[in-house]
Amino acid sequence: MSKAQTTEKYAMFDYVLNNLDHLQGIKDQSLIKGYHQIFEQHPGLHPDGFDDPESGWTDELKPICAEMWRRVELDTSEVNEEHMYYINKAFRKLVKESANKTTR
């Protein structure tokens, strides 16, 4: 992947990181995209227990997960619990292909 592609791919993540003091002002879809990119860059993280010192979440990333969980509880938010558990694109493709094979 070229540097330009990498920069473009993680643009929303960078935007979210650059606005940590203003997370509540970030639109739901932008926050979701930036949050999901955390898992692309830091595989092995899990949103449950993110605030535990042994969770692997850095102090820089914890507020993003906390904001996502806060929005899950809001009736007016597009963020739901499914957004919390990111499944990367490769795995989603595999699941879809597997489902197609079993329905034939």
Give just the sign of the alpha carbon dihedral 96, 99, 79, 65: negative
Across the chain, which distance is largest between two alpha carbons, in Å? 50
> How confident is the model at residue 47, as a pLDDT?
96
> How confident is the model at residue 43, as a pLDDT?
87
- In whole angstroms, give the CA distance from residue 85 to residue 36: 9
Number of domains in the chain: 1
Which residue numbers in the chain have pLDDT < 70? 1-9, 88-90, 92, 103-104
- In whole angstroms, give the CA distance from residue 26 to residue 19: 8
> How confident is the model at residue 87, as a pLDDT?
82
**66 lies in which domain range?**
3-102
> How confident is the model at residue 90, as a pLDDT?
65
Q: Is the pTM of this model over 0.85?
A: no
> How confident is the model at residue 100, as a pLDDT?
84
Quickly list DSSP for 54-78: TS---TTTHHHHHHHHHHHT-TT-S
